[in-house]
Amino acid sequence: MSSIPAESASDALLRPIRSGNAFEETVERLLQMVRLGVYAPGESLLPERELARRLGVSRDTVREAIRSLAEAGYLVTTRGRYGGTFLAENLPKAEPVTPGHRTEADVDDLLTVRELLEVGAIRMASRRSLSAAERDLLWTRLTDVMEATPEAYRRLDSRLHLTFAELVGAPSLTALVADNRMLINQMLDQIPLLERNIAHSNEQHHVIVLAVLTGDQDRAVQAMEEHLAGTAALLRGFLGDSTAIDRTATPSDC
């Protein structure tokens, strides 16, 4: 049986921490993997030793980060022969994070960067000759998001989009997509899930995945551009009348 892509989202997100905020960044990286769907509820995290090695921090730092996230309800740690650290089956409900003094220019910047990253990723992915494991993984991610409950939809949608980046095989790209998606998700948390929009998004997801699987680069790019444009339109529509965007702020105010 073929293995999953070597350059996975976890490989990209578990890159060495370079700042002096080892604990805080370890918590951030683990939360990124939770919120972007890299781990599924009930799934086991890597052992502390391996997490510490990949992040370039001490095991004590990893242990403290895991303990803090367990106390917050995101992780469950068990002892014994089959023990380990697992993602909680029922995650805490995310509280919407107000973007603060984010101007229309800031929002446009995030959406532009998203388009550059994700359209570029889908162009590259559709050029590749995918392995059987990669094809199975992509189809599984699509099925998961199409069958998602409203509560799990954005997490599984994020995971599908990260998978597109993973298929390129460049961990730096996956890391950039993940960072951008976390900021996009902060804005998405400000707007309601619309049933018709979810159905339309999944239709587009299906087209994108089929185009990647058949190597139809032009169709994949066109479908991704349309998909991202739809999300951008909703964000601008909902947030355009919201105090979440400060139209009067100057760059020095942000």
188-233: per-residue pLDDT in tens? 888 878 888 899 899 999 999 999 999 999 999 999 999 999 888 8
- Same domain assignment for residues 74 and 130: no
Q: What CATH number should be reported for the domain holding residue 71?
A: 1.10.10.10
The first and second tokens of residue 74, run together, are 């995101």
Summarize the confidence of residues 38-46 as an average pLDDT: 89
Measured over the CA atoms of residue 22, residue 102, residue 157 and residue 69, the dihedral's sign is: positive
Q: Are residues 229 and 112 in the same domain?
A: yes
pLDDT one-digit tens code per residue, 83-113: 789 999 888 875 555 555 567 778 889 999 9
Of 27, 62, 87, the residue at which a domain comes to its end is 87
Percent helix, percent strand, percent coil in the chain, to nearest 5: 65, 5, 35
Would residue 21 count as lying in a domain? yes
Residue 93 lies in a domain: no
Q: Say whether both 139 and 13 belong to one domain.
A: no
What is the reported pTM? 0.74
Range of the domain at 78: 9-87
Whether 74 is in a domain gets the answer yes
Total domains, the chain = 2
Do the domain assignments include residue 204? yes
